[in-house]
A and B are shown apart, each in its own frame.
Chain A
Amino acid sequence: MSKRRFSSGWTALHIYGAAFLIFLYAPLALITVYSFNSNALNMAVWTGFTFDWYRTLFGMQPAGAAFDAAFTENPDRIFGVLRNSLIVALSASAISTVIGTATALATARYDFVGKRIYQALLFMPMIMPDIVLGIALLIFFVGVGFKLSLATIIIGHCTFLSSYVYIIVAARLAGMDNTLEVASADLGAGPVTTFRRVTLPLIMPGVIGGFLLAFIISLDDVVITYFIAGVDTQTLPLFILAMVRRGIRPQINALAVLLIMFSFVVASAGLYFRSRRN
């Protein structure tokens, strides 16, 4: 009886999950369709099918006759800003994942003076409005003589990304008892071995979740990045924001589709190798 109840609930869950995925993918489907739209003026009006936006991204000549330089961007520039974005997002999310995880372990596994203060403090970079943190960091960096560069963007991102990682990992650690770790220590394993062999595998889903979230946030950050970016360190979101007055260029749709495809390939490879190893 309880099984039957469970299975009807399971069907409902399947439908719900599918609807959720449609919600997530509807905008992407639209972007993909419009990335083949030949209308250079306005991506919202369909005028015909073209590969031109992909072609121009890769520096090839567009095939369409009615091609206007006013509506396209230099591909070197697009790849330049994409490169900046990826460097920042990868470094900042990796660093924050290490720092945030370490902090979560400290607050979950140790009692120390000022623990409450740390816990409250960790919320604050997330609460501080972006523009306030951005301007404050700008004043600080320039005041102490840091040259604005990709490094300042990375540091700036770490200040708030660490908090996000911390919260996710701490949620994973909460209520998880430490008997396994104690057992490992009792069996003579050092703290590093215990961490590597026992704790890390246990919290891995949280760590990966934290890293992914940090990566996504860093890749999309506009406001803080704006203020602490130096000459020629524009990132993709800043680049796109600057073009919205005339509407987003069709090439950007093509780039978004390529980015998703790229993430898809990388992650599928990862999944494939993991399943082979198991």
Chain B
Amino acid sequence: MVVGNLTQETEVVVIGAGPGGYVAAIRAADLGREVLLVEERESLGGVCLTEGCIPSKTLIHAMQLINAAREAERFGILVKEVNVDIDRLREFCRSVVSGLSRGVEGLLKRRGVEVIRGRARFESDRSLRLEGSDVSNIEFRHAIIATGSRINQLPVGYDLPLWSSAQALTLPEVPPHLLVIGGGYIGLEMGLVYAGLGSRVTLVEFCPRLLLGADPDLVEVVIKRCQHRFEALLVDSRVIGVQRSAGGYEVQIEHEGATTTRRYDQVLVAIGRHPNTEDLGLEKAGVALQDGGIIQVDNRMRTSRPHIYAIGDVAPGPPLAHKASREGKVAAEAIAGQPSAFDNRAIPAVVFTDPEIAWAGLTEREAERQGRPVRVGRFPLKALGRAWTMGQTDGLVKVISEVDSGLVLGVGMVGPHVSELISEASLALEMGATVEDLAVTIHPHPTIAEAIQEAAEVADGRPVHISPATS
């Protein structure tokens, strides 16, 4: 080391400044701890802010504007032509990301959290070695591992410059023909963005269904819409070969034993993520892993070394920013001696497709798998005034409840703005609400949120805007 062995001591070190790590750092600092935050990248906010949720939602909003302009005709609004200035869109996206990232930097500064840029590896269960930083060693009393996850590589064509979602989000170009590999939420969202920008999109999914975690009746509504937007939607299909060809790629897709070769200008790989737990020196710290490179934790986010915590994508559970943030708070509070625990009943999932899908708690499919009897109240948006005013009546809300008590076990929804509505369901689940609680809560009229109330009334056996017989 050129600068010698500079060692810094700290009470708490947080590794990774994503939505888990920076939130943990702020909470720990607010609880009076001395906190050091180590981040490998230049900008703070992690994958979510810099190359995930934030830029993708910016582009999805842009896509919705485009679609709205195109669909405005039904309202008698004639938009002659929609032109996309890709450079300005890209610039807008960048400004959103850099603005928010600077915001995180400011928050940390005001809380007195020291941020060090560098790559950290455990040397022991009390020290870290840093690369790319003036500080070469950190000695800590508590550590929070929040290193997140990275994109999975395709087993074929990994040496080719195929797009990852991170690259696609930088809008390098709008390819005339785009192949999206992966029918999870990232593949669907990105496919719809590029379809909105003018690409002819083909989506390939290995499994027989898209969005495996969601109930099929919700996904079906989106698939119906995607069939208009996408050139082709191939499930049960596998990409078995990718080769460069004049300005694009030749791709071999296997479906039910038959292989077809098609040409695309660009290929986007969105086949899941993998926790960043390799090359962290976890073995030197004595931190145990479970299957899939996930770090074992207890409900206070403590690893097998109880003064070392792990949160977010490296910990068990879905790789979602809001789950990471909650876990970050739990870890920081546990370090500060508070009796906090990750005991949440629901981690809401949201897919920003068109229309949006959101669910929280038990799904119908999961109830079925468990053989658990449930009462489901389903309310279609076709019966909802607000949906008609928007001209968007595709969708539904369903409330899944315990048969005996009416306890709300899960809520699923598909339709406009449901990403905003799912939080009511999460609250209901956390509070142990019953369908009656949802049914008697006054929901403002006319809103899409009324569908939650209506679905709860159906589950409670006393719907108004739909006849009980059809429920």
Asked if A and B bind, the verdict is: no
A contact residues vs B (CB 8 Å cutoff): none
B contact residues vs A (CB 8 Å cutoff): none
